[in-house]
Structure 1
Amino acid sequence: MKVLKFGGTSVGSSQNIKKIIEIISSNHNETQVVVVSAFAKVTNLLLESAQLASIKKSAYISVIEGIKSIHFNIILELFSGEEKEELDSYVNQKLKDLSDVLHGVSLIRELSAKSEATIVSYGEQLSSYIINKALLANGISSVRVDTRTLIKTNNNYTSATVNFEVSNQNIQNYFKANKTQVSVLPGFIATGESGETTVLGRGGSDYTAAIFAAALEVEILEIWTDVSGMYTANPKLVKQATPIEQISYEEAMELSHFGAKVIYPPTIHPVLRKEIPIHIKNTLKPDDKGTLITKHTSESDTKPVKGISHIDHVTLITLEGSGMVGIPGFSKRLFETLASEKTNVKLITQASSEHSICIGIDDSNASKAKIAIDSAFEFEILKNRIKPLIIENNLSIIAIVGDQMKSHQGISGRMFGTLGKNNVNIRAIAQGASEKNISAVIAAKDVKKALNTLHETFFKDNNKQLNLYITGVGNV
């Protein structure tokens, strides 16, 4: 048995759905649990319709028409006759139910978390129903299972916490009784304690797949997306970037945290505990090797750096002053203030002199963080013990990642030397004791240059890039 998850643009068109059918057909000797996301762009459109309804704008009706058009076009290209009519009727009924929910939101001019979860759940409900019908039409023994009957959560509607004890028991009991070759499940959605629909938050479909993989203790979890695995760097910025064939759980989570969007780190915890391998594959190029994520990589793989990644839209905030030196509690107060504002910290660095502490946060949180911190330390600022919070914008964090870096000397020297030679100024540095990640804050305008020069330094098997300038008068 194995679990396959198809998401994003993998379910973005009828042609891609035909690819999915081929992939599932090629595993005809295995029992398969297939988790699907909403069709491409549908979740965003559902959120847009919810926001429009909450401010009593009738434009949400045209957004629903757009959602209907996406589904009808896919149905038209995959089905005909009675099958098409039945699916058209199903979509119409579901979207009528959705319209009723949105109309209620519009009347009270308020979008509650409960209503939002209900609204965004329609994407996965529709996609899973259509894909299951497509599998049946192609002669594959398949059944659609509503994930809400199996995964139980608390009542935090839009980012629910899973009750693993109950959910695992439900999943195991269902699959003991059900022997259908293929089970199609909507990702992202679940049921709360009150019996209402909840959703699992960002990366929810990956999370759903991981929950089923762990509960059933399958051989492998396959995540099918629109890229051929995780790359040594962002291929849109670094043309020489290549797919990574094998990587550890820790390396994958580090790279994902720093912008490699193939997986969302918290979602893989269920399979990490059970040490179930994850295989990232390309739906459009199923023969590509992809990236295999395991607890340990091959002993023959001695590359110290596995990948280079970055985070954009970073603001650096610095709290400094002589009044901080030797006084316990400053860091505690700072982080408590940020936590009270629900501001996530991306990077921390502090000088051993205790004169300053520097933190990287998202640009969108910078203004409220400054107001909150200046207020929390108002007394110390008035007494000139510390300075008002210093804000630096238009920054990015760049990071090199690898399990083997701790056993190789000079990695940080090569990183900072490369950046220095290419006139990339470093604003802050952070490195954990595990030495699996070295991060630096740089100007956003230098990211592409930094990625390319670091990639050239640590992945020398690739072609070296030369910048050639020719000057002269007339024909040179």
Structure 2
Amino acid sequence: MSESSTSTTSSPSLSSVETPPPPSTPPNLHQNTIDPEVKWLVQKYGGTSVGKFASSIAENIVPDYLDRHKLAIVCSARSGSTKALGTTNLLLRAASEALRRPPPALVPVQSGSSTPLTDSLISRCFRTGSPPGTPNTFTEQSTGSFHKTADLILSEHLAAARDCVKGKELLADLEAEITRDCENLRAFLSATQVIDEISPRSKDSIVGFGEKLSCKIICAVLRDRGIDAEYVSLENLVPPHDEVDDSLGQDFYDRVSDAFAERIRHCAPRVPIVTGFFGPVPGSLLKQIGRGYTDLAAALLAAGLDATELQIWKEVDGIFTADPRKVSTARLIPVISPEEAAELTYYGSEVVHPFTMEQVIRRKIPIRIKNVENPRGGGTVIDPEADLESEDPPPDFGARFLDGILANGVIGGVGTPRQRRPTAVTIKERIVVLNVQSNRKSVSHGFLAGIFTTLDRFGVVVDLISTSEVFVSMAIEDVLDRKLLARLVRDLEKIGIVSVHHDMAILSMVGKQMRNMVGIAGRMFTTLAQGNVNIEMISQGANEINISCVIDGRDAVKALNLIHQSCLQIKPEGPKGRVGPWLF
């Protein structure tokens, strides 16, 4: 749906949720430097980091950067004790619950039996016009299950605030802000229940509450620890979009980037705490970008500010040569190219989405993955100027190598670039393989066109594909429910003979140096054969830095370890995570 066709009644107003004025600055609070020569540094904290390590961020991380950089912080919505209890998931659940029942009927009640919250809801949703505090003669017959979810969101954030903020006055103000935001959320959901519709833009606005709440908590925690922080909402900064359709080109994102940067510069010398949510975006933020919009907001801000670096803080030390939970000899990779990071993201490793990376890499800004539990570790740098294929060391090789030693206390800098070998190996599990063999009732171009048209109709994304004139093998994520998959297979059977293989996995070996490594594919497949790992299909990326194959999911961990030891030549000996893979 285009924005021009979005009904105004389907997007209740959120005018009551606005960016509060910046707080007054008590004396002796630590601020950003005002030195015009010092460049900005953007830090992005994920939901788990915000949820579990808010105090550590304020005490052990942020103060170390203030005197050397102008610091801007972007936060995701808080995580929960389980994935389902994460704030964003709870908000999406509440949105679904608001539409689960028809609009509530109004029934008479005794005067004085209503509550301030009931008065507020009826005033906002039904326009009763009653003065605040006046007893209403109507109330909701059914409150709806979304109220329980809203109560859970409120209690979780109030508990987090009380756990992290010690100053009584600061805590009282924060509790009032959280309560007010959750009442606004409740009223917003009630309004959508009345009109029995949630537009894509409305869903964006509902999800946006998560980042607002987390940023307000982090802002208060920082101020409680003596850092002059300012809460900043990006939701009203997106510039107008002139295109008729919903497609967003790079020009749009460049303008968004400039708008974000202009707003953040006005915070100086305070430390801006920025919502990862930014909307409304033409065509809906969730539909255009997805749940990774917080990373994208941080990238756009870093690009607009021409930051010296974009730091993405997680609960891992960086990018490894393999998943350290599955491969005990996995090593931290100090420097990796954007192309390699993109390939690892596509094939199972949670790095940074390629489109997000593109926004900063095109401005020659490096991305550093850091660990909130190990803030002094060097992490992994996604370096836009990394030339890992060069026979000669880069000009700053010595300095970067020494930095790695100083940062980690061990050898962790850029390794010897002369030794060519793959960078990492990764596994993507829960894969389904679809094989389609032509029934010879159509010519080859009709056969392929029919397959791709069918996949597009079902919204299926193909991870790997192997084709001939009459046979196609495709690896897709096992995300379709059984009924939908059965419908897809029935439609494909109109084109040819279909077979389906469940519980498969994609094994991928990635590395820029593989372009010039004669025999690396042969070594990979020989190693798997010697380990009795059967290969279902094989594919090589067009950029020649990725070799992938599909194997039985039961062999995934075994295959990962075999390739890690044989092709990356990382042996079981040696302390874990202390030396780059190219030094073995």
Instruction: Normalising by structure 2, report the TM-score.
Output: 0.72
Q: Does 1:228 align with 2:343?
A: no
Q: Which residue of 2 aligns with 1:333?
A: 450
Are 2:90 and 1:52 aligned?
no
SS of corresponding position for 2:430: strand
- Checking the alignment, whether the CA contact within 8 Å between 2:157 and 2:178 is kept in structure 1 is yes
Match of 1:74 among 145, 160, 164: 160
TM-superposed CA distance for 1:450, in Å, is 0.9
Alpha-carbon shift at residue 208 of structure 1 (Å): 0.6
The answer as to whether partners of 1:152 and 1:190 remain within 8 angstroms in 2 is: no
The aligned residue for residue 183 of structure 2 is 96
Structure 1 residues 329, 445: CA separation in 2 closer, same or farther (over 3 Å shift)? same
1:24 aligns with 62
Cα distance in structure 2, aligned partners of 1:153 and 1:161? 12
Residues 1:63 and 2:149 aligned together: yes
Range 198-207 or range 262-271, more displaced: 198-207
Indicate which of 276, 296, 300 corresponds to 1:207: 296
Do the aligned partners of residues 82 and 218 (structure 1) sit closer, same or farther apart at CA in structure 2, a change above 3 Å counting? same
Inter-CA distance 67–397: structure 2 relative to 1 (3 Å threshold): same
Return the offset for 1:348.
Answer: 0.9
Deviation at 1:96, TM superposition (A): 0.7
SS of structure 2 residue aligned to 1:139:
coil
Equivalent residue number for residue 428 of structure 1:
537
Alignment correspondent of 1:360: 475
Counterpart secondary structure, 1:96 = helix
Q: 1:406 aligns with which of 507, 512, 515?
A: 515
**1:400 counterpart SS class:** strand
Look up the match of 2:78. 39
Separation in structure 2 between the aligned mates of residue 37 and residue 101 of structure 1, nearest angstrom: 21
- The one-letter code sitting in structure 1 at the alignment partner of 2:75 is V
Alignment of 1:124-163 (within 5 A): 124-152=211-239, 161=248, 163=252
Q: CA separation in 2, counterparts of 1:64 and 1:462?
A: 51
Separation of aligned partners in 2, 1:138 and 1:160: 43
Match of 1:288 in 2: 377
The alignment status of 1:5 with 2:114, answered yes or no, reads no
1:426 to 1:199, Cα distance in 2 relative to 1, 3 A: closer
Distance, in Å, in 2 between the alignment partners of 1:198 and 1:154 is: 16
Q: Distance in 2 between matches of 1:437 and 1:153?
A: 40
Partner of 1:471: none
Residue 369 (structure 1) shift: 5.6
Q: Contact (CA 8 Å) 1:49, 1:63: kept in 2 or not?
A: yes
Alignment of 1:391 onto 2:469:
no
Q: Aligned pair in 2 of structure 1 residues 178, 75: CA closer, same or farther (>3 Å)?
A: closer
Structure 2 counterpart of 1:236, one-letter code: R
CA distance in 2, matches of 1:155, 1:364: 35
Q: Aligned residue for 2:557?
A: 448
1:43, 1:169 → 2: CA distance?
27
Is 1:317 aligned with 2:456?
no
Alignment-mate amino acid for residue 371 of structure 1: R
Paired AA for residue 77 in structure 2: A
Matched, 1:342 2:459: yes
- The one-character-per-residue Cα deviations of 1:60-98 (angstroms, maximum 9, x if unpaired) are 322222222221122112233121111111111110111
On the 8 A contact 1:190/1:199 being kept in 2, the answer is no
1:317–1:358 CA contact under 8 A, matched in 2:
yes
How many aligned positions are there? 453
Conservation of the 8 A alpha-carbon contact between 1:306 and 1:402: yes
User: Which one-letter code corresponds to 1:349 in the other structure?
Assistant: S
Cα deviation, residue 10, structure 1: 0.8
Distance (Å, rounded) in 2 between the aligned partners of 1:194 and 1:439: 35
Q: CA deviation at 1:370?
A: 5.7
Answer with 396-405 or 199-208: which moved more.
Answer: 199-208
Aligned to 1:266: 355
List gaps (5 residues or longer) in structure 1.
466-476
- Counterpart-to-counterpart distance in 2, 1:137 and 1:223: 24
SS, match of residue 341 in structure 2: helix
Provide the rounded CA distance (Å) in 1 between the counterparts of 2:55 and 2:572. Answer: 37
For residues 276-323 of structure 1, the C-alpha deviation after alignment (integer angstroms, 9 at most, x for no partner) is: 100000011101221010122454334421111121221111121362
Change (3 A) 1:154 1:62: farther
Q: Match for 1:454: what amino acid?
A: I
Q: Which amino acid in structure 2 is aligned with residue 359 of structure 1? A: M
* Cα pair distance change 1:317/1:195, threshold 3 Å: closer
Q: Which amino acid aligns with 1:17?
A: S
Separation in structure 2 between the aligned mates of residue 321 and residue 268 of structure 1, nearest angstrom: 40
When the two chains are superposed, the root-mean-square deviation of aligned CA atoms in Å is: 2.8
Q: Is the 2:230–2:267 contact (alpha carbons within 8 Å) kept by the matching residues of 1?
A: no
